[in-house]
Chain A
Amino acid sequence: MKPPAFTYHRPTTVTEALRTLAEVGPDGKVLAGGQSLVPVLNMRLAAPGHLVDINRLEELSYVRVSDSEVRVGALARHADTERDEAAFAAIPLLRQATAHVAHPAVRNRGTTVGSLAHADPAAELPAVLSLLAGSVVLASSSGRRTVGADDFFIGPLESAVRPDELAVEAVFPRPPARTGTAWLEISRRRGDYALCGVGALVTLDEDRRVVAARACFISVGPTPVLVDLTDAADWAEAGALAAAAVDPEDDIHATAAYRRHLVRVLTARACARAAEAVHE
């Protein structure tokens, strides 16, 4: 179908965008890549009165890597995040997970920060932010605040972004030394929504003993589900621990039991792969 009519705004600076968002209030919606928003509009599941197009805010089109973190601006496309060599060297998980976001044509337009703000329980980037204990910087005409991943994802398709706010930047902290990561997911077809996806992060000591192990799951709860697996005796036990920690639901794509099975199997595989990725 065709999207409903709306009033279109195209600010050219962040200040102007924030002023417009404050003016239009709850009847407004931010248009970044639009790869989730436009399907919703086309299917008439939403009809915002105003769209504030941020695609001219070039100042937000960046992926910046420092010693402590990777900062991704609101206009960085998935493809920018995925291909950035410095970001990959700092946090390989960003590329590992982003490669599973839909298809290249969608990644060329959709944005990393937009995926976070959209807070789809089947989306990869929210789990990456949770696993790395990252945060999102929200700006409004009255100031800025930084919200940690724990508080950012509130429920399915619900994040902490208020109507007058723009998510301007995501901050992904670099994991400690001797840490490996992996991303695995199962979907009916490559690029489709995951039936279950898992990001794993494993830190080893000099003798390759596990110092820390965490995994974060998508499509098995209303928000990304983070599980600490540091105390597991081996990766099989880690899988069992994770399977006991999640509470998936049935839907037309998979039963809850099958999703729980995937959590167990994928956790063991992803943790083993993450541990292998720790280089001396």
Chain B
Amino acid sequence: MSDHEVRLTVNGVPHTVRVPARRLLSDCLRHDLRLTGTHVGCEHGVCGACTVLVDGKPMRSCLLFAVTVDGASITTVEGCRTPDGGLGPVQQAFWDCHGLQCGFCTPGFITTITAFLQENPAPTEEEAREAIGGNLCRCTGYQNIVASVLRAAELMRSAPPPDPPPSDPVDHELSFGVDGVSRDELHDQPSPGAGSRS
């Protein structure tokens, strides 16, 4: 049961890893590639926290062996940022709408919604609910996540084409704002994801 060489392009970066056949894609991303944004909840395909995009399509990374997707392009939550490293439109929508509390399920929502909005850029509320039906969240009660889907659609429709990466990403990040609200003002609200789970 020797190791297998697996080539994956993750968030645009090519990687080659040697892993046993039983290595789940979720563990390959987290342990071998140190991309711990992908979260592992139930590890049998129910919770959706580990959802990543495989060649653009959302799939459960805990139900895929890394070796079987050899050669694929993977997008994780780390790849849902803007090119300069700021919040991507779905992440920004979660911030705006308080779409997360503890944040454990969030990476699966971000990837799922990113793919969904590419297919359906102007969803109804019902379609938004249907789209997130395969992802469990135990904190929010989902209402703010549904609002986040609709907000993300709004942001993506109004977003200008992505700028080339700025020479100084830190400056750019500070000027990042939504609807005239600067990031400093957003910080005045309780920061999502901050605080203890217990």
Contacts and interface: CB of A to CB of B under 8 A. Distances in A.
Contact of A53 (B24, B27, B59, B68): B68
A252 interface: no
B14 interface: no
A103 B48 contact: yes
A42 B59 contact: no
A146 interface: no
Interface in A1-44: 1-8, 10, 31, 34-35, 38-39, 41-43
A191 interface: yes
A189 B142 CA distance: 14
A51 B20 CA distance: 13
A190 interface: yes
- A contacts with B: majority SS: loop
B4 A38 contact: no
B57 interface: yes
A109 B50 CA distance: 14
Interface string A262-279: 000000000000000000
Contacts, number: 91
Contacts of B21: 5-8, 51
Given A34-B64, A42-B62, A55-B68, A104 B134 contact: yes
Max chain B Cβ within 10 angstroms of own Cβ: one of A4, A7, A42, A191: A42
A60 interface: no
A177 B134 CA distance: 37
Max chain B Cβ within 10 angstroms of own Cβ: one of A1, A10, A108, A191: A108
A124 B21 CA distance: 30
A94 B124 CA distance: 25
Interface in B111-170: 112, 116, 130-131, 133-134
Contacts of A51: 21
B129 to A, nearest CB: 9
B195 to A, nearest CB: 28
Contact of B57 (A34, A41, A108): A108
- B contacts with A: majority SS: mixed
Contact of A105 (B22, B44, B134): B134
Contacts of B134: 102-106, 191
B45 interface: yes
Contacts of B57: 79, 108
Interface string A73-109: 0000001000000000000000000000011111011
A6 B68 CA distance: 13
B22 A2 contact: yes
Given A34-B64, A103-B134, A191-B134, A39 B58 contact: no
Contacts of B43: 1-2, 42
B22 A5 contact: yes
Given A39-B44, A42-B44, A34 B65 contact: yes
Contacts of A191: 133-134
Interface residues of A, number: 31
Interface in A240-264: none
Nearest to A99: B130
B67 interface: yes
A247 to B, nearest CB: 29
Nearest to A34: B63
B22 A4 contact: yes
Nearest to B4: A8
A202 B21 CA distance: 48
Interface of B: 1, 4, 20-22, 24, 27, 43-45, 48, 51, 54, 57-60, 62-65, 67-68, 112, 116, 130-131, 133-134
Sorted nearest first, the 6 A-B pairs with minimum C-beta distance are A103-B134, A8-B21, A39-B44, A105-B58, A38-B63, A108-B57
Given A5-B20, A5-B21, A109-B54, 16 more contacts: A2-B43, A3-B65, A10-B67, A34-B63, A39-B45, A42-B24, A53-B68, A79-B57, A102-B134, A103-B133, A104-B58, A104-B116, A104-B131, A105-B48, A105-B58, A108-B58
26 contacts: A2-B24, A2-B27, A3-B65, A4-B22, A5-B1, A5-B20, A8-B21, A31-B68, A34-B64, A34-B68, A38-B44, A38-B62, A38-B63, A42-B62, A42-B63, A53-B67, A102-B134, A104-B131, A104-B134, A105-B59, A106-B63, A108-B58, A109-B59, A109-B60, A189-B133, A190-B130
